[in-house]
Chain A
Amino acid sequence: MSHIELTVNGEKRSDDVEPRLLLVHYLREVLGLRAANVGCDTTSCGACTVLLDGKSVKSCTVLAVQAAGHDVTTAEGLASAGELHPVQAAFRQHHGLQCGFCTPGMVMATVGLLSENPDPTEMQVREALEGNLCRCTGYHNIIKAVLAAAEAAQASAWAAGIEESA
């Protein structure tokens, strides 16, 4: 057993885990955070995507011990005070989810993408989400939701800029 200390959705956690325990299983089975799903064996599908220090990672390919000392954010940690995070809200607004299985991973990958590229083109969104598979939506409304979330963030950043300079 290895001892790990890390922050998950803003809360300090400390546990003794098997060295081979995957981060996704730590989140799901030890912490009971089950939004991230396991959809494949080969790091291909992205249903387990979470943020590690703000960058999106596939938590099936990170060992829990590798996350020690780091900051993990899951879909459960995005919404605040009962309000959907703007990316979550955009997915709902544009019907960017159906069965929901890929959704938490898709949302986290989007948050990761927009933090690196706040104003992506449609092709950039498609390329950024290539590692997140969805069988229901044909990606159409996911792409729409991501572009809308980016636009809304740009608009509010612009508005905030106006406010600051005023």
Chain B
Amino acid sequence: MSILGTRVLRTEDPKFLTTGGVYTEDVTDDRLAGAYHVFFVRSPVAHARVNSVDVSAALDAPGVVAAFTGADLADQPVIRPAAAGLMNVEMIQRLLATDKVRFVGEPVAVVVTEHPYQGEDALELVEVDYDPLPAVLGFDPDDSSLLFEAAGTNVAGNWGDASQLKQDLFDGCEVVVSHTIVNQRLAPAPMEARAGAAVWGEDGRLTAWIPNQGAQGTRSGLAKLLGLEASQVRVITPDVGGAFGAKFGADPEHAVLGWIARRLGHPVRWAETRYENLISMTHGRAQQHTVTIGGSRDGNVAAYRLEIVQDAGAYPKIGAILPFLTILMTTGPYDIPKAEAVAKVVVTSTTPIGAYRGAGRPEATAAIERAMDLFAAEIGVDPAEVRRKNLLAPFTEPHRTAFGALYDTGDYAAALDKALAAAGYADLREEQKRRRAIGDVRQLGIGVASYVEITGMGDGDDTPPQENATVEVHPDGTATILTGTSPHGQGHATAWAMLASDELGIPVDKFTLKWGDTDLIPEGGGTGGSRSLQQGGAAVQQAAQELIEMARLRAAAQLEANAADLVFDKSRSAFAVAGDPEASVPLTQLAEDERLLVRAVFSAPGATFPFGTHVAVVEVDTETGKPTLRRVVTVDDAGVVLNPLLAEGQRHGGIAQGAAQAFVEEVVYDADGNPLTTSFADYPFLSATEVPSFELADMATPTTYNPLGAKGIGEAGSIGATPAVQNAIIDAVAHLGVRHIDLPVTSRRVWTAIQQAAAAGSGSEH
């Protein structure tokens, strides 16, 4: 029986449970012996001119080896905006700020010390003279205070042309509803904050240990930041304590480490505090949506418009690209005859925005799922029914949307029905009716969100998504897999071993997985965008299959038999002559004669589109506004599942993060641009007491884009859960006249919405 599809326990767990993972801070390496410790002096003001930076007092402090300012690094390459050609080219960043600072947390200087505690002390001694400027905040910053004077505007760029929006888009609609809603700023907050170590070798190459999501991309990024050739840089990836999109590539701090290590001719290391992490690791989301939806009174949606404003933070990084993905997924799983979307990207004096679990797709789903509920409320039709009416019909041949996305396979209505049935939707509505009738203080809310999302995207239209893997069988019966993916919790060591084991007949626990060292594995796309299994896993399977075919030829020569007459006996991991099992040769023996190793590159025809429906059930205390999440029931169809244990784990984590966005988490700034959520005491990171256990229903519609039939599952949970929970909380108080409450739907916001609706006298009588 095949091991594929079974709940194999993770082979990597015993280490993590006993001696713990070896994260960047834990790395002990001869090359890092006696490494100095780097500490960043960060701006305490949101927007200011920097008049002077004086490190002299710090240099005199105990243990201080060196200190550097932006002026010392002025000859280093500047960091240009993402989305070249679309974003304003004047919005450039430097490794350390020189003339201006543009967000609280921007690095201004560094102190290098022998011991870490000395660095904490010496940081306080660096004198920076700031000339504060007005903060630039919000989704509609005017140009009275410019972050980049040379740019002449705080608008970084646009996706699409707002002047081309059709005036007649909603002509003929019986009902049109419009609302401006916020998809708030979040902190990715992986449990392991950022860190790094760097040393230059006598060969003139930089070796950098960086927690990242793809060593190869990190190497290119680091080389670019330092003006080096990629061949001059080696990136090594220790265990990574969570990433969620925010550890893609290299950050300015990592480049500064490399610069200092070269300047001092000495290894250095850095580990940021949680305070630094919350103000200077990229944030996620931060979009404002104006949704307009129109259709008939019986629930057919005829037109939909999405106008996005993306707050990119102080510098246009990946955040500036997020609207591209949001626009691509504008209509989600729905068949809407007329739809259009545009986006404007603005810069603000806040932490730059980057990728966060889902990166652009959760925003699209949140927008249309809120729009669907607003529409349903307006026409008085059940929101699940409105969805069913408008979902695309099942399809097995790729479907091209008006926004250019090519959906591979899907049966959206089946996912909706399955989720509603698993939740007991009809009974829930009855219970809701009962509580409304008696005016129960604890009202019940039911939220539905259907979604389709995009996973395993390539770099562009010209290059198909691909990934490489190398499989080698050793004479002692063990095997090694090299992968271009980069696990940081997903369980690739187990999953990739399952795939190879299934071909080679070698037990899962005999495999060693290696990743994340660019000298060992020069190419790879890393782990992000839910791409790993469908491309990296497929490459492992392909390499193992090719290895068997190569071994077959060698076995035929050794057994003096026709290759076609050989059968591979997985139970013995050996080739045998058909009909003569005695005449056999095991893979281990072939490996002894000559290295038995194959590298394969898997290419996919395109991205895949997982889909599903989430149903959330909440109770809201109408006297205090407090929402309590009671149930989350989900169908997340990501095609064929390799290891249900791992896939469920991805769903759980995603659902929790999505729910956290719905009613718990938000990065907050005050009117002067000071961040107010700078520790885990202030940033309301989701805890175990705020969520229930989740209810997962299974559905698997295979894709034809890879032999595994698998789509991505890493981000689905976070995409469906946010609007489901948001819709549920609003639904709980809808009968009181509440139509919308912005994310995160906190007690205070719910209470305020109830009061406002009561004052407006808009509640329905029960």
Q: Name A's B-contacting residues (CB within 8 A).
A: 18, 20, 28, 34-42, 44-45, 47, 75-76, 78-79, 84, 88, 91-93, 95, 97-104, 107, 122, 125-127, 129-144
Q: Is B52 on the interface with A (CB-CB < 8 A)?
A: no
Chain A residues with CB below 8 A from B167, complex form: none
Chain A residues with CB below 8 A from B689, complex form: 126-127, 130
Most chain B C-beta atoms within 10 Å of own C-beta, residue among A18, A28, A93, A140? A140
Q: How far is the CA of A72 from the CA of B648 in the complex (A)?
A: 35
Separation in Å of the A33 CB from the closest CB of chain B?
8
Contact A45 B680 (CB under 8 A): yes
Separation in Å of the B713 CB from the closest CB of chain A?
13
Q: Name B's A-contacting residues (CB within 8 A).
A: 9-10, 12-14, 16-23, 25-26, 117, 189-193, 239-242, 244, 273-275, 488-491, 645-646, 648-649, 652-657, 679-681, 685-689, 691, 693-694, 717
Chain A residues with CB below 8 A from B240, complex form: 99
Contact B691 A97 (CB under 8 A): no
Contact of B241 among A79, A91, A101, A125 (CB under 8 A): A101
Chain A residues with CB below 8 A from B193, complex form: 39
Instruction: Sample 30 A-B pairs with CB under 8 A, ordered by A number.
Output: A35-B19, A38-B25, A75-B17, A75-B18, A75-B20, A76-B19, A84-B17, A91-B13, A95-B646, A95-B648, A98-B653, A99-B192, A99-B241, A100-B16, A100-B20, A100-B241, A101-B23, A107-B17, A126-B688, A129-B687, A131-B687, A135-B242, A135-B685, A136-B242, A136-B489, A137-B652, A138-B656, A139-B687, A140-B656, A143-B688
Separation in Å of the A75 CB from the closest CB of chain B?
6
Contact B693 A144 (CB under 8 A): yes
Q: How far is the CA of A98 from the CA of B652 in the complex (A)?
A: 11
Q: How far is the CA of A102 from the CA of B687 in the complex (A)?
A: 13
**Given A34-B20, A104-B20, 5 more pairs with CB closer than 8 A:** A79-B18, A91-B13, A103-B16, A138-B653, A138-B655
Separation in Å of the A112 CB from the closest CB of chain B?
15
Chain A residues with CB below 8 A from B192, complex form: 37, 39, 99, 101
Cβ-Cβ contact count across A and B, 8 Å cutoff: 179
Q: How far is the CA of A20 from the CA of B120 in the complex (A)?
A: 13
Contact B17 A138 (CB under 8 A): no
Q: How far is the CA of A45 from the CA of B689 in the complex (A)?
A: 14
Contact of B657 among A40, A42, A135 (CB under 8 A): A135
Contact A92 B656 (CB under 8 A): no
Contact A39 B191 (CB under 8 A): yes
Q: How far is the CA of A88 from the CA of B450 in the complex (A)?
A: 37
Chain A residues with CB below 8 A from B685, complex form: 44-45, 133, 135
Q: How far is the CA of A26 from the CA of B241 in the complex (A)?
A: 21
Contact B694 A140 (CB under 8 A): yes
Chain B residues with CB below 8 A from A38, complex form: 25
Chain B residues with CB below 8 A from A78, complex form: 18
Contact B657 A138 (CB under 8 A): yes
Separation in Å of the B677 CB from the closest CB of chain A?
12
Contact B14 A142 (CB under 8 A): no
- CB closest chain-B residue, reference A97: B16
Separation in Å of the A28 CB from the closest CB of chain B?
8
Separation in Å of the B106 CB from the closest CB of chain A?
19
Chain B residues with CB below 8 A from A129, complex form: 687-688
Contact A139 B190 (CB under 8 A): no
Contact B18 A76 (CB under 8 A): yes
Q: How far is the CA of A93 from the CA of B9 in the complex (A)?
A: 7
Most chain A C-beta atoms within 10 Å of own C-beta, residue among B17, B488, B681? B17
Most chain B C-beta atoms within 10 Å of own C-beta, residue among A78, A101, A131, A133? A101
Knowing A39-B193, A129-B688, A142-B688, the reply to whether A84 touches B18 (Cβ < 8 A) is yes
Contact B242 A92 (CB under 8 A): no
Contact A141 B680 (CB under 8 A): no
Q: How far is the CA of A43 from the CA of B630 in the complex (A)?
A: 28
Contact A102 B680 (CB under 8 A): no
Chain A residues with CB below 8 A from B191, complex form: 37, 39, 45, 47, 99, 101-102, 133-136
Contact of B18 among A35, A44, A135 (CB under 8 A): A35
Separation in Å of the B175 CB from the closest CB of chain A?
37
Separation in Å of the A10 CB from the closest CB of chain B?
15
Contact B19 A98 (CB under 8 A): no
